[in-house]
Structure 1
Amino acid sequence: MSERVIQGRRGGLISLGAADALWVGLTGESAVPTAAAAFTCSPADARAGYVLLGVRVVAAVKAGGGQWDVAEAEVRRAAAELNAVEVDHRDLVRIGPFRGVLKQERDEGTLLRWRRRIAREMQEPSYPGRTAQDDGDRLPHLAGIDWRRMLVEQTQGREAGSWWLPRPVVRVLDAAEHAERQWLQTVRQPSQAVTEPPSSHRQAQAADGPETTSADGSATTLRLYNGELQGQLYSVLSRKPGISGKVAGWICAVCRAAPAAVLDHCHEHGYVRAPVCHSCNTQERPDHLYSNDVRVAGHYTRLFDTDAADWLVHWHRCSGCRARTTLPLPHLAAWTAHIACRPLRPTHRAIRGSRGRKPCGVLRVSWTGSQNTPRSCLLTVTVDFCPSGEHRLLARVPYREAVEQFRTWLAETAPAVAAVAGPDRLDGLPARSRPVIADTSGEGLALF
């Protein structure tokens, strides 16, 4: 198919229509569904000088007769990168809606800002008599990805639903947004572009981090985070001019696979942890946050089991948590339910002829008091949605006991993290941690 669509190419360039066909042909078996008109339908606009395709910025060239062309090789590279993405449809990230109105920014131009675009599209009221011509104004794709086929909408009774996308897709869109921002910065300020010569292309990628594409087609390398912001208060650092641009220059300190987008910080002590991508910034949040308890869902398996070492290092980048060898109260509560109370969780026989047994219901942990009054703080672990309705309360664990259990588990699970923690590093820490005040609106989830 690819040989057919590139007929009549000039110097490796193909028309936008041919690029559309090539993109669909190359990504037909990709785990991420792609759009049929990635180059010719909104929000793609070749007149801006480029088209976003997955995580790659593909330059557009104006040929004779006012026709826009793109490099065939760049389309193939973008397709190969997207085909390598693996998708777990059970691992979802909430992308909205969040409190507040999403406003159109003055300088938005062609910038992806995919969360805002999806929010505007989903919040647009549908009306009777909508025609096919009206649908032409709707947002069909983002960076060549057919996001509608991946979007999951969950409803909560009479309340408005929430929107979710698979985590790998969120990371691809975040990387695309970052690549576009870097491209535009390079075009506007060519003298400040940081590029790597072709000879050092592979060495730079291995030594520093993943690449984004710059205006001249060369690669821009992200920096690894090495604790440059350690010990700084988020309330002070977040107000400094240019901090967002500095954050965008790092690779995510947790997954080390996507560009950083935000500064994650400990809401209990106020210290900056590290720059992270949007996906990792949402991963530690619970499925539902109540006034004083959290629901412990399946994604905690990754936080406390498969990827525990990475997350423990990240959480203990906070000076307060590291000095006290503990976690913020909501994290500690989730750990207590998922790890310390694991032997107490009952199981039920799997239904419909499946073999084995499955854990009962969904864990939920609540607390009375706070970390500021450890003697009176009590964690209560319960089971929601028990199939038989017989299981409710699993355990009541005093806060101090939970802390001691966590310290023992930390020393066994991540000895390197435990070795640098301890009570001798309390200098400069606030005398009292912040009170735990939950934000139940869903925007930011202040405890996390």
Structure 2
Amino acid sequence: MSERVMPGRTDGLITLGAADALWVDLTADSAVPTASGAFTCSPAHARVGCVLLGSHVVATVRASGGQWSVLEVEVRRAAAELNAVGMDRKDLVRIGPFRGAPRQECNEETPLRWRQRITRELQELGGPERAARGEVGRPYHLAGIDWRQVLVEQTRDGTQRTWWLPRAVVRLLDAAEHAETQWVQAARTRQAGAAATEPPPYPRQARDAGGRQTTSPQGPIASLRPYNAELEGQLYSVLSRKPGTSRRVAGWACAVCRTAPAAVIDHCHEHGYVRAPLCQSCNTLERPDHLYSNDIRVANHYTRLFDTHTAGWLRHWHRCPGCRARTTLPLPHLAAWTAYVACRSQRPTHRDPRGSRGRRPCGALRVSWAGSHNAPRSCLLTVAVDSCPSGEHRVLAQIPYREAAEQFRTWLTETAPAVAAAAGPDRLDGLPAHFRPVIADTSSEGLALF
């Protein structure tokens, strides 16, 4: 520990000011940027009993003289967890603004609600530029993370500005929000004197070196249960109307990454069946990048969907009985797969303009389709390259839906045989006779639970 934080230490406890300095020291080399004032500046509020550091809850203790302190070991544990997080600054998730989103006031006494806090700050400060300057007295950290340093603003259609954060930061803040919710619920239960057969799973009780009782969290998903296909075969239109569904979803871990709390019910827009509960990050990763209702930009995240994490995502998509029985994907996903995988060999390359001897794929890949959304089997998929340096190669291929589906089945058998073995035309009983209309979420507004 650095010398400047030593004076605040007594019986394993350090003052909030010393904890601020220790947090900055320990996370100086972290991929995720951190901020000073993690314990002493809003939205940190020590008197509620805890402070968030990344996805870690650090309990606060009122020591002698009324001074608030924290356990040094908990600060170090939170810093070690954050330092272990990798971050790709190019892997972005849109966080707002979204049309029609309810405006909620946030202050020191309210929960984290990090999306609303960032929206409020950017709207009041006039955008990321002013927020990045850090006006005196303005809160800028969330759970000890300096979100200003990694916020990206993009302009859509020349007018609409949108805000984006790296996926790793989104997952950390989602986990922090969930951890705080669990902590508050456990605290209320204890205050109400509710009888319990066992100690609350989150947070657990511990004692510091001086014998004082404190609260020590076990981690952001310690109280979550794994998803074991409890919602399989259910229609989203029916499930979303059942009371208590949102509370039930919040108790699951994300069915894809299994490291974050679930926040949404992912479902097949084409067949209407529930797939599984996902965290916000995985839900945005799974969502196709629509340019228009029938046009998809094949972005970098398709590398993960169809390359590095292929089997897991295919298994997730085939949680829909309709896709599994027909051994296919929803039309937007099949179109993206066709452009990214089936037409990979047709995509031309150019010499790397940065001077290296290698070659890089030409332009930006895009796929569109013509035909009825109510009958995707009649659609014609058109794979094209936009922004080609030489102005050539605009259209790479035009592939009928049936041919694309057959290519996918062949590829599925070779790439994920276990997923292919669970699919097949012998499981059509009870499925819709016709495809449902494709619902294109072009605005990314579907970040609420339903």
In the alignment, the residues of structure 2 paired with residue 218 and residue 343 of structure 1 have an alpha-carbon distance, to the nearest angstrom, of 50
Shift of 1:12: 1.2
The 3-state SS of whatever aligns with 1:69 is: strand
Separation in structure 2 between the aligned mates of residue 181 and residue 338 of structure 1, nearest angstrom: 40
Please say if 1:274 is aligned against 2:276.
yes
1:366 is paired with a residue whose SS is strand
Q: How does 1:73-152 map to 2 (within 5 A)?
A: 73-104=73-104, 109-124=109-124, 126=126, 135-152=135-152
Instruction: State the match for 1:20 in structure 2.
Output: 20
> Corresponding residue for 2:29?
29
Deviation at 1:240, TM superposition (A): 2.2
For 2:231 and 2:22, the matched residues in 1 are separated by 44
- 1:398 corresponds in structure 2 to 400
SS of the equivalent of 1:124 reads helix
**Shift of residue 41, structure 1, vs aligned partner:** 0.6
1:156 CA displacement: 3.2
- Aligned counterpart, 1:341: 343
Report the equivalent of 2:316.
314
Distance 2:185 2:312 in 1: 32
8 Å Cα contact 2:44/2:108 also seen in 1: no
**Could you give the per-residue CA deviations for residues 363-388 of structure 1, whole angstroms, max 9, x where no partner exists?**
11111124643453111111111111
Cα pair 2:350 2:359 within 8 Å, conserved: yes
The 5-angstrom pairing of residues 242-253 of structure 1 reads 242-253=244-255
Alignment of 1:161-172 (within 5 A): 161-172=161-172
Alpha-carbon deviations, 1:339-372, whole Å to 9, x = none? 0111110111111311211001111111112464
Q: Secondary structure at the match of 2:141?
A: coil
User: What SS does the aligned partner of 2:161 have?
Assistant: strand
TM-score, normalization by structure 2: 0.89
Q: Secondary structure at the match of 1:30?
A: coil
The whole-number CA distance in structure 2 between the counterparts of 1:308 and 1:45 is 43
Find the aligned partners of 1:292 and 1:158 in 2 and give their Cα distance: 21
Question: Normalising by structure 1, what TM-score?
Answer: 0.89
2:225 counterpart of 1:223: yes
Q: Is the 8 A contact 1:54 1:173 kept in 2?
A: yes
Does the Cα contact within 8 Å between 2:52 and 2:58 map onto a contact in 1? yes
- The sequence identity of aligned pairs, in percent, is 73
Counterpart position of 1:195: 201
Any idea what SS the aligned residue of 2:324 has? helix
Residue in structure 1 matched with residue 242 of structure 2 by the alignment = 240
**In the alignment, which residue of structure 1 is the partner of 2:435?**
433
Task: Answer whether contact 2:57 2:217 (CA < 8 A) is retained.
Answer: no
Number of residue pairs aligned between Structure 1 and Structure 2: 428
Written as runs of structure 1 = structure 2, the 5 A alignment for 1:372-411 is 372-411=374-413
CA gap of 1:176–1:375, structure 2 versus 1, over 3 A, is closer
One-letter amino acid of the counterpart of residue 155, structure 1: T
CA contact (8 A) 2:256 2:312 kept: yes
**Which secondary structure state, in structure 1, belongs to the residue aligned with residue 112 of structure 2?**
coil
Secondary structure of the corresponding residue to residue 315 of structure 2: helix
Q: CA deviation at 1:107?
A: 11
Q: What secondary structure is seen at the aligned counterpart in 1 of 2:292?
A: coil
One-letter amino acid matched to 1:417: V
1:359-378 alignment runs, 5 A limit: 359-370=361-372, 372-378=374-380
Show CA shifts across 1:274-318 (max 9, x none): 111111000022344312111111110110000111100100001
Deviates more, 1:86-95 or 1:392-401: 86-95
- 2:7 corresponding residue in structure 1: 7
Amino acid across the alignment from 1:262: V
Separation in 1, partners of 2:374, 2:410: 22
Offset at 1:445? 9.1
Equivalent-residue separation in structure 2 for 1:290 and 1:373 (angstroms): 18
The 2-side partners of 1:137 and 1:329 are apart by: 50
- Asked if 2 retains the 8 angstrom alpha-carbon contact of 1:271 and 1:320, the reply is yes
Aligned residue for 2:296, secondary structure, equals strand
Alpha-carbon distance in structure 2 between the residues aligned to 1:335 and 1:108: 46
Q: Distance in 1 between matches of 2:156 and 2:217?
A: 47
When residues 441 and 221 of structure 1 are mapped into structure 2, their CA distance, relative to the original with a 3 A threshold, is closer
> Which amino acid counterpart does residue 41 of structure 2 have in structure 1?
C
Q: Which residue of 2 aligns with 1:205?
A: none
* Alignment-derived partner of residue 330 in structure 1: 332
In 1, the alpha carbon distance for the partners of 2:202 and 2:108 equals 28
- In 1, the alpha carbon distance for the partners of 2:319 and 2:108 equals 34
Q: Is the 8 A contact 1:341 1:395 kept in 2?
A: yes
Q: 1:242 deviation in Å?
A: 2.3
Confirm whether residue 160 of structure 1 aligns to residue 186 of structure 2.
no
Quick one: distance in 2 between partners of 1:381 and 1:228?
Answer: 38
Q: Which residue of 1 aligns with 2:352?
A: 350
| Partner Cα distance (1:101, 1:94) in 2 | 14
Distance 1:162 1:107, change over 3 A: closer
C-alpha spacing 1:195/1:150, structure 2 compared with 1 (3 Å): same
Question: Structure 1 stretches of 5 or more lacking a match?
Answer: 199-214
The equivalent residue for 2:178 is 178
2-side partners of 1:40 and 1:9: how far apart?
A: 17
Evaluate the alpha carbon distance shift between residue 145 and residue 196 of structure 1 in structure 2; reply closer, same or farther with a 3 A threshold: closer
Task: Identify if the C-alpha distance between structure 1 residues 393 and 218 changes in structure 2 by more than 3 Å, giving closer, same or farther.
Answer: closer
In structure 2, C-alpha distance between the alignment counterparts of 1:99 and 1:126, rounded to whole Å:
18
Change beyond 3 A, Cα 1:106–1:55 = closer
- Aligned residue in 1 for 2:49: 49
In structure 1, what is the Cα distance between the partners aligned to 2:376 and 2:262? 35
In structure 2, what is the equivalent of residue 202 of structure 1? Answer: none
* Cα 1:51/1:152, change in 2 over 3 Å: same
